[in-house]
Structure 1
Amino acid sequence: MARYVICLAFILLLAAVPWPSAAAQHALGAGSSLTVEDHGRPFLTSSDGSFSCGFQEAGENAFSFSVWYAGAAEKTAVWTANPGVPVSGQSSRISFRGDGNLALDDANGTTVWESKTSGSGGGALTISLLDTGNLVISDPSTGGRAVWQSFDWPTDTLVPSQPLTKETRLVAGYFSLYYDNDNVLRLLYDGPEVSSNYWPNPDYSLFENNRIGYNTSRIGVLDDTGVFRSSDNLVVEASDLGPGIKRRLTIDHDGNLRIYSLSTSTGAWTVSWAALQQPCSAQGLCGENAICEYQPSLRCSCLPGHEMVNPRDWSQGCKPMLSSSTTSCGIHATPPEKFKFVELQDTDFYGFDLAVNFSVSFEDCKKLCLEMCSCAAFSYRLAGTGVCYPKGTLFNGYRSPNYAGSTHLKVPYSFDTSAAATSVSARGTAGLACNPNDDPVALTGSQDNRWPYLFAFAGVLGVLDLLFIATGWWFLSGKQSTPSSLEAGYTMLRGQFRRFTYRDLKAATGNFKEELGRGGSGVVYRGVVDQGRVVAVKKLAGVEQGDEEFWAEMTVIGRINHMNLVRTWGFCSEGRHKMLVYEYVENESLDRHLFATDRRPLPWDDRYRIALGTARGLAYLHHECLEWVVHCDVKPENILLTREFVAKIADFGLAKLSKRDDRSGVEFSRMRGTLGYMAPEWALNLPINAKVDVYSYGIVLLEIVTGRRISQQTTADGVLLEAGQVAQAARRVVARGDVGSLVDSRIQGQFNARQAQEMLRISLLCIEEKKKRPTMDEIAKALTELDDEDEHPAYRS
């Protein structure tokens, strides 16, 4: 008995001890604190569970005090008290002190950050984390008036309902988003020595950028539907527009401004809008005397004759290794210094022009730079007549195949032009995974006539080297090679995507002998390349782009890789010959299995996997690609099947690549798609976005369930029904709970009732008006939730 009394007393004693509450708190009084050792426990959580705040890892044994979305897989901060000044992982503490001051103390007791609210009500103050993500210190004695709030002190992120004002800015490193004196919202690079605005496009006027300067409010807000509105007339929309999605607007350390959306299925953030489609448009990424490239990951490289200032920080740029300088130059220098030029192909340096000269020949431009001691290089473009840009500072360098010009670097005459440029991979941005092309900078320069034998000897060595490489490739390929095929061979070695010649594809297809199919976009032929790889070669019809534009778009498409998308191996662009080389998918297209009466009907499990795979492929195109791709022609003919009936979407590269920063949609020169699968906005001439694919997918999904062409449904009198009429009839049937009457009768009732119900529900939502349609990401998630069921009961009426 005594033992039980002792145990009971011990239990009562434990109950009396003020142990930390297991339940998360969203409001605290003065005297509350949290040590960094308890970083696994939040300091506060909003009442709806959306946000938490507490200690977040900021490096090895380093922490910051931050607010983050509680549902995210990683604690991505939306606000930080001490950005750039982390505290130690031992003995640091966040305290809501008795005087009403919220303070962050380091291990040595030093206060690294504080709210400075002491004396604003004293011990009566409370601190709470609101459902909006706003951390607020308020005074209950004045009706809960806020004396301090994190919304007034943003760091690099805005959350929905948090305003950006003329008094605040978002900052990430040297980059910031702010309202300038003209009341315009801009992105600014403000480095140690150079400062420049780069968004909106500084080459255009306010009206050309669709902005206005005559506003006094200077305020921007991201709302809960994914629309960011600014008082300067800027309106942008997330690609997954609609309520119920957690989002944030963040300026990243690569200088780009993005809207991120949180996937409830994976807890990961995906980009749903970006201000800059070309990452190198952000200025200062690679620093002075460096070149930015995106191929497809972000890469910085030093100019010839230069080396990195700091191998850990590209923003510090590169410094010259040359013994001579352009400062002692010109024809009047004593002794006169001799210079020549190294060509940097497809390269420009934005800004810092010493002059702009029109109708100038290349030689005159070169002479002009030689005579200017302050000229470090010149850019030359053939825009009708030659345009010459002498450069004083080589900043904001970028290389792009779309740039119709080149920059010529001024170097001492003794500089070795055969040396390759130093090139190092820099930090990357989220996007498509692909192996970068680490090609050196192409160099050209003047010959030194004083050394003819030396250059002749070097030329002989170069020819021998080329012959050796060509011979090696000849043995590897098993046939003789032309220089173009040699180049293509090296491209294949560097990556799977390549450029084919018309002769290559003519030979691979046996002069386009075996036709696999045809449609409005062209004819597909079977071919064999690279010693046995079977491919599908599509001769495109109606392609109007020039070679460079077509090449640029196909290079983007070639980086897209997903198990539910047909892989693009390469392309051909020679004048009027525009062709794509696809992965060969052996089991034909969905329509031949779904609608054919002379073959076994598709089992339910295959139908469901095809529906899910198609949804995942479209979700990847819409939400996960760095370049947002709208398919515009989703139909059973463009859904190919492998032997295992894995769905692979074809022809996604034929529609115009959409821009994430388009406010309301994309303008196409003509209607795209196939009648019966086209969304109503095509006919109404409304802006086009990813919701046209959602509509088409809804039609396909309904056809997968019913096994019948929706566009061929008729009344009892033989009158063709429109998709909307078919959908209305299906809604009435679903409302009665009679799902089985809509499922393809050829499978004789062998289907999963829950899956069929969900597929019909989704298909009918997809055919709704544009704003009511779900996103492909939401559709893929909904179908995935019913994918791994252990039992697949047949429908019973």
Structure 2
Amino acid sequence: MTDSGNFVLYNKDSVVIWESFSFPTDTILGGQNLSTGHELFSSVSQTNHSTGRFRLKMQSDGNLVAYPVNTLDWGIDAYWASNSWGRSPNYNLYLNNTGKLLLINNTNSATIRELFRGSSIYSNTVIHRATLDVDGNFRLYSHKFDTKPSVEWQAIQNLCEVKNFCGFNSYCTLNDNQPYCNCLPGSDFIDPEHWSLGCERNFTKEKCKVGKENSFYNITAMDNLNSDDPPYFKASMPKEECSKSCLEDCVCDAALFQSGNCMKLKLPLRYFRRDTALPLRYFGRDTGDTALPSTAFFKVGTTSIESNKTIPTLIPPPSPVVVTTSKKAVMLILVLSLGFITYSCSSLAFSGYFIFKFRVLKYRRLLEAGTSGLIEEFTLGSYSYREIHKATNGFKEELGKGSFGAVYKGTLYKGKIKKLVAVKRLEKVQVDEGETEFRAEMRVIGKTHHKNLVRLLGYCAEGMKRLLVYEYMSNGSLADLLFRAEERRPEWNERVRIALDVARGILYLHEECETPIIHCDIKPQNILMDDFWNAKISDFGLAKLLMPDQTRTFTGVRGTRGYLAPEWQKNTPISVKVDIYSYGIVLLEIVCCRRNMKVDVSNPEEVVLSAWAYKCFVARELDKLVGDEEVDKKLLERLVTVGLWCIQDEPALRPSMKCVVLMLEGITDISIPPCPTAASPM
């Protein structure tokens, strides 16, 4: 450990083979570089140093830029930059031992720009550090041994400039020069104690009826709100017409009227703020203009969901101060306080006695009934057929139909709380296990919890009736999103995010569960979208139900034509690699926004997507796969290459799901795949 704080590992010849300065987290110290392509990531909180919500990247174009995490390096997501872009690809961020924060040329160590001049005199009693803080601001601190650390410089003066500072569907505003987070109209905080999680809709989303939205929704207007969210529609029109247009538009959740232009937006909303003096920015640079005052219109439902959530603030309000002016007043306060304490203690003692007695009686009754009553809180729910029949109103509203049965919309009630669910009615499943084995298996499946898996809430097993109860997903399936020709295709960045969501969900099933689970039917119809358009895999419990041996087993053909791995037809043992193959087909469909089999094409080579993709890959003509769409070419090549590796004939050649995720994230290099001879419809 050097005096600078660098932890260095040497080999036997005293040559450095590893040092902590090459792998910064949220901080660089005096004498340390942040080299080209590397990033700082903020912490979750002052006490939790896991990866937080913001990142600072030293880009290859020479620009030092701050973004929210889980965003690409796009100007629309940047909220601060050093404005040194376009000069040299060899810049480093460097903090010297006197506190100077510099951008230097890595080739000749020449100073290109000073972010903070600092001192020219070195002192061995002062330590400097530059940190990307929890709130997203980049600050330079100095530490002296006998005093508290002080801030020497900070990148941003107004924290409302930090994009995604307040989370989804909320906006930042200043109160006494301090940032506050409030929910946008029609939403409440997901968790009032953790405002960074953002807000969610607090009213019921009705079915879309074009031109009749005003019967279900009202418009709420707010002045002086600005946003950097990209609109899906922009046109010139009067303010009143902008409000009416959003109300009657099924897709519109909010509209922003500014300088005679109406911009329509969809949930989730990320970059709202209430401050008319904030500068307009493009790729982290000030444009020289300030954001013009604008009016925002929000669509709010007439049917609200009960909510008592309060609005948190970053700084708690000051506590009231009691001022005493005489000994008489002090004595009065003491007497009242002692009386109140005595009364409170007596009340608590009596209440505790009666509560204890009530709980003991209740526990005895539960023991007599043969159950502890606590299992239901922590395990998968078991429902009667009558309960599910009532919840679905006699299986009235069908959401979809698959190879193993139909899915119906239902509503379960727990007291006054209403929860929407999706009920899958298994019609073609032959269950050979007994009642005890089936229930035990469902409880194992119920332990799977991941943000990219549709949650299995419960089941029904009465006689030959088998039903599964899942959480309700409001935005349909990935197939609806990709293959509906009459609507616009999802944006490229959105498709990349969805591909990663699906990969992480499969990784959890394969490697992070107590027992590996083979899905057996990965396809766009089984990938559903939640309220915030996050992708979640559904029906992941079906493979567990049909195949008790989760790692390797013989079984009949399961799945959907076009997504089946070759080993299904070879009577060989099935492993998790069948899911890898199906994911490869789905990944190519996500990239190209078309089905694997498409007969209505002018070129016969384009009928089978997997075969066409390999031909374009070999010919270095990947642009043909996305047409005229503007995409990141390097990222396009990476996604297609991963897809081609996943659909190899031999299971041993296919990567594991962990390797797939690492390749998609750009962490692992990818070699050139051989020709996938099985790239044809099954």
What's the TM-score bracket when you normalise by the shorter of the two chains? 0.3 to 0.5
* TM-score, reference length from structure 2: 0.43
Report the TM-score, using the length of structure 1 for normalisation. 0.37
Larger radius of gyration: 1
